Structure 1
Amino acid sequence: MQTPVTGASGLATLFAVTLAAVLVGLASAILSLWAVRRRLLDRTVDGAVRRLLSDPYPENLWDLAVGMQRVPPTVLLELELRAHKGALLERPLGSVTRRSQWEDIAFNPAQLVRPPLPPDAPVDTSVVLGPEAGRPLRLETPLLVGAMGYGVGVSRAVALALARGAHQVGTAYNAGSGPILPELLDGRGPLILQFTGGAWTRDPAVLARADMVEIRLGHGARGALGRRFDATRLPPEVRRLLGGGADAPPVLEAPLPESLDPQAFRQLVDRLRRWTDGAPVAVKLAATHDLERELLAVVDAGVDVVVLDGSEGGTHGTPPVLADDFGIPTLHALVRAAALLEATGLRPWLSLVIGGGLRTPGEALKALALGADAVYLGTAVLMAATHGQLSKAIPFEPITQLVWATGRRARRFDPERGARTVANFLQACTLEMAEAARALGKDSLRAVDRSDLVARTPEAARMLGLPPSWRPPGSGTP
């Protein structure tokens, strides 16, 4: 005779047996349903494949794929946006094309012909911009945070994160063409202020606080075009700082009036130097095919630093035609500018800063080897600032809604966390460049030069004048 199930333990056993039976039944039902659904899915897929392989093109779904090959997704999207409103289209972050083939250049590792440095050998990563200026700009790394202006581009929180992150690693933040936040003038780190066609960037008392002043004549993603801001789309604080109103919206004038007359331009450079007590005065140029003539014109004005922005440069917003179809590539502009400075004997006292689409430590170090003293990083640093915070925007909003001043998620951005990730990114890139210098047998980033490079393609060998990797040294021209 079986003993009846009684007491707490008996009830527990009964519950466990019942639960197991229910789970087994549920699993059986799911498997049965899956078997039915799988047969339906198989039939559906089989039918779709048969249609795909038999329908004539005008009725075939693959015609969509053919269309996408003729009109890529970005072009198709912008086509649709133009058709939707008939208004001037502006794209954030600049060009979608990359013409600078940094990957066609390689470093030549030190090995037997010359030895590499030991793993713990110190490497000097510092740089001095405007060495002949009254008070040169000394930085711990040649990586600068590119111009991203408060209000007309990034939010207050993002601007502070970019500046504080740069200052934590001993480099400079360029405050861009927007109004200057008082917090940026606290003297905690190097600050580059732009002098532009906007009245709000011309206050002598503010410019006097700069560690370098950058006269902005051009921009890689906009050429030398000015800008009229829609005041109704700007945050209230930004509208107040920029001035103007509905009848007189704030305008970033272009061309810069002083740049149209050589004497007036020289006087402007001298005036800025006095206001800043000898800080370097730089001029920012969009990379054009008239590059040599324009470089000589700004050098004649007595500037200390030339900043070249290639066509891959980013921005808050610009018509795609300007971003994709104007200017010359960053790499081409760098090679031409460096050659001119060498040929004219200007290299020892005039600093060259390059920007526009640079993303990695390798690209930055190649730019230094080809003649740049420092590089601006823009989009890469902006993305580093959002590390760990992307979930505050995506998947329902793009990253721009988290970082732009007008973004719907701008209030969610944490500036302290952003500053930390910016500093981490810049520090990691600098350490990687130092490690690369050791692999080249160099104890300073400034010592890395063209002799450390080879070309991987015939095009790069011809364009850059580098030895081709498929021929031994000294075997003739590329």
Structure 2
Amino acid sequence: MYGKKLKKAALVGTGLLGGSVAATILGRGAVNRVHDASLKVLMNDLYDENIWELVSAATRLGLQNVVETNLRSSEGKVIERPMGSPKKFPGLEDLLFTISQMYNLPIPLEQTTDSSVTIGKKSEKPFTISMPIMIAPMAYGVALSKKAKIALAKGSAMAGTGTNTGEGPFLPEERQAAKYLIYQFHRGDWGKTPGIMRQCDAIEIQLGQGSISGVGHIFHSKDMDKELRTAFGFPKGRDAVAHSMQPGVSSPKDLKDLVDRLRDVGGGIPIGVKMAAGKFLEKDLEIICNAGVDFIALEGAEAATKASPPILQDDFGVPMIFAIYRAARWLEKNNYKNQVSLIASGKMRTPGDILKACALGADACYIGTIALFAMSHTQVLKALPFEPPTQVVWYHGKYQNKFNIEEGAKYLNQFLRSCKEEINHGIKALGKTSLQDVGLNELMATSEMVSKGCNLPMVYEPYG
């Protein structure tokens, strides 16, 4: 009986295999006929009738420009591109580190390294993060879901670092989950109460953003549900307006008065600014530092946001590599280096990027887009392949309700800890024991522009 079953199973298996082979042969034949016919058309049609004309034109114009041209034609209004510019700016990939061998000796394998950073060095209540990485300001409601914000806060806390509220409504659950929470004193007219600010570990006055410059924007009431209106404290029908300027700040004195007032409200916690880097960077820094800030979060042209006009992302601002170099040199020259913490922001992707920014003069870095990818990890499969991965983290995302907070926090924590370990390996490879000892002397340039702009030797230049 058992032998008959095996024989029957073998016959069935042989039949299935034979069918599969036949289907494969027939399938290959069909694919071959379609392939040959398609190539024959491409090889024989004149260009004005040839579909390859689209490929040729798109290569010349750029596929991004072709798609966005059609979006502009379709909408007839400003298009809003998420996640930053695809444009390639001169960047950190144009830098390489030196290696310690004999002239500079390596440090022993068992030697520990220190990559911790103190924010608000001279404030009454500075705080120390375990690594030079914090989570960038990303707004609840305006951009991210409540679950995403809580996961970012929780994951950053597990890794011993901080996160930023962004310009959305204050989220008590985020405060509860975060170890260090920076409150963004945005350009809108919601929140910003003493009761909120006293719960936080630092206050960041938003002057501008790298991806949206000093341009204001409106979050329309029609896009708010009841939960979000309640969080904003707005009645139905009222829009949330983020002004182009910080309300009440139109002069250097106004900024100083605001910094002093917020320092008093916060009871001595660090007070800083968030700004975009432009042509007049040094003049901006002079006004800001004279106002008595404890930290500066400086965004380069590569910075991203939930949505902003492509022209502001592609055609405005100073690339981050030059912004950080210029800012750090100005702070050092004017004796602010040991008083004001410098936080770099804009297209930070890897541990190498972070360490290079710190070598240029930053104390720490914000990460945004890459933190979302790390946190979402395999949860993006809930949206793919029919929807973008961000649909699991946006407030209005189709799959945001399926996002798992605990998983998100776990994977963000693991990503951050992995980055910290790599950064410590990099510090060791430079023959150093502390992040504070890593500087310009450890860098070389592969680009003539970067070499000149950051006063660094080219990799091909002999030493000595």
TM-score bracket, shorter-length normalisation: over 0.9
Q: Quote how far apart the aligned CAs of 1:111 are.
A: 0.5
Q: Which runs of 5+ in 1 are unaligned?
A: 1-7
Q: Distance in 2 between matches of 1:36 and 1:153?
A: 50
Indicate which of 321, 334, 339 corresponds to 1:349.
Answer: 339
Q: Which runs of 5+ in 2 are unaligned?
A: none
Is it true that 1:445 corresponds to 2:435 in the alignment? yes
Deviation by residue 1:164-192 (Cα, 9 ceiling, x = unmatched): 11111211100110111112333851110
Q: Quote how far apart the aligned CAs of 1:269 are.
A: 0.5
Per the normalisation by structure 1, the TM-score is 0.92
Q: Distance in 2 between matches of 1:23 and 1:118?
A: 61
Is it true that 1:258 corresponds to 2:248 in the alignment? yes
Alignment correspondent of 1:88:
78
Q: Quote how far apart the aligned CAs of 1:379 are.
A: 0.6
Is it true that 1:421 corresponds to 2:411 in the alignment? yes
Would the alpha carbon gap of residues 446 and 21 (structure 1) be closer, same or farther in structure 2, given more than 3 Å must change? same
Q: Which amino acid aligns with 1:220?
A: G
2:150/2:177 contact within 8 Å kept: no
More off after superposition, 464-473 vs 281-290:
464-473
Q: Distance in 1 between matches of 2:237 and 2:25?
A: 69
Indicate which of 147, 161, 169 corresponds to 1:171.
Answer: 161
Q: Which amino acid aligns with 1:233?
A: D
Q: What does 1:63-462 align with in structure 2 at a 5 Å threshold?
A: 63-186=53-176, 189-245=179-235, 247-462=237-452
Alignment correspondent of 1:3:
none
More off after superposition, 203-212 vs 453-462:
453-462
Would the alpha carbon gap of residues 445 and 52 (structure 1) be closer, same or farther in structure 2, given more than 3 Å must change? same
Q: Distance in 2 between matches of 1:17 and 1:127?
A: 71
Would the alpha carbon gap of residues 36 and 344 (structure 1) be closer, same or farther in structure 2, given more than 3 Å must change? closer
Alignment correspondent of 1:4:
none
Q: Distance in 1 between matches of 2:118 and 2:309?
A: 36
Q: Distance in 2 between matches of 1:432 and 1:424?
A: 12
Q: Distance in 2 between matches of 1:36 and 1:302?
A: 76
Q: Distance in 1 between matches of 2:27 and 2:196?
A: 70
Q: Distance in 2 between matches of 1:172 and 1:234?
A: 28
More off after superposition, 310-319 vs 82-91:
82-91
Alignment correspondent of 1:58:
48
Would the alpha carbon gap of residues 261 and 25 (structure 1) be closer, same or farther in structure 2, given more than 3 Å must change? closer
1:200/1:241 contact within 8 Å kept: no
Deviation by residue 1:257-276 (Cα, 9 ceiling, x = unmatched): 33202222211101110111
Q: Which amino acid aligns with 1:209?
A: Q
Q: Which amino acid aligns with 1:309?
A: E
- Number of aligned residues: 464
Is it true that 1:473 corresponds to 2:463 in the alignment? yes
Q: Quote how far apart the aligned CAs of 1:16 are.
A: 4.8
Would the alpha carbon gap of residues 313 and 33 (structure 1) be closer, same or farther in structure 2, given more than 3 Å must change? closer
Would the alpha carbon gap of residues 234 and 468 (structure 1) be closer, same or farther in structure 2, given more than 3 Å must change? same
2:191/2:232 contact within 8 Å kept: no
1:243/1:250 contact within 8 Å kept: no
Would the alpha carbon gap of residues 228 and 471 (structure 1) be closer, same or farther in structure 2, given more than 3 Å must change? same
| Structure 2 SS opposite 1:257 | coil
1:235/1:406 contact within 8 Å kept: no
2:152/2:375 contact within 8 Å kept: yes
Q: Quote how far apart the aligned CAs of 1:249 are.
A: 1.0
2:221/2:238 contact within 8 Å kept: no
Q: Distance in 1 between matches of 2:238 and 2:426?
A: 52
Would the alpha carbon gap of residues 268 and 25 (structure 1) be closer, same or farther in structure 2, given more than 3 Å must change? closer
2:119/2:128 contact within 8 Å kept: yes
Q: Quote how far apart the aligned CAs of 1:19 are.
A: 5.3
Q: Which amino acid aligns with 2:118?
A: V
Would the alpha carbon gap of residues 151 and 16 (structure 1) be closer, same or farther in structure 2, given more than 3 Å must change? same
Q: Distance in 1 between matches of 2:178 and 2:343?
A: 23
Deviation by residue 1:415-438 (Cα, 9 ceiling, x = unmatched): 111111111111110111011111
Q: Quote how far apart the aligned CAs of 1:199 are.
A: 2.1
Q: Distance in 2 between matches of 1:51 and 1:134?
A: 74
Percentage identity across aligned positions?
36
More off after superposition, 234-243 vs 130-139:
234-243
Q: Distance in 1 between matches of 2:415 and 2:33?
A: 51
| Structure 2 SS opposite 1:77 | helix
Q: Quote how far apart the aligned CAs of 1:26 are.
A: 5.5
Q: Distance in 1 between matches of 2:35 and 2:240?
A: 58
1:162/1:173 contact within 8 Å kept: yes
More off after superposition, 216-225 vs 257-266:
257-266
Q: Quote how far apart the aligned CAs of 1:202 are.
A: 1.5
1:177/1:201 contact within 8 Å kept: no
More off after superposition, 372-381 vs 112-121:
112-121
Q: Distance in 2 between matches of 1:19 and 1:428?
A: 50
Cα RMSD (Å): 1.9
Rg bigger for which structure? 1
Q: Distance in 2 between matches of 1:272 and 1:412?
A: 38
Deviation by residue 1:333-388 (Cα, 9 ceiling, x = unmatched): 11111121122122121111110111111011011011101111111111111012
Per the normalisation by structure 2, the TM-score is 0.95
2:301/2:346 contact within 8 Å kept: yes
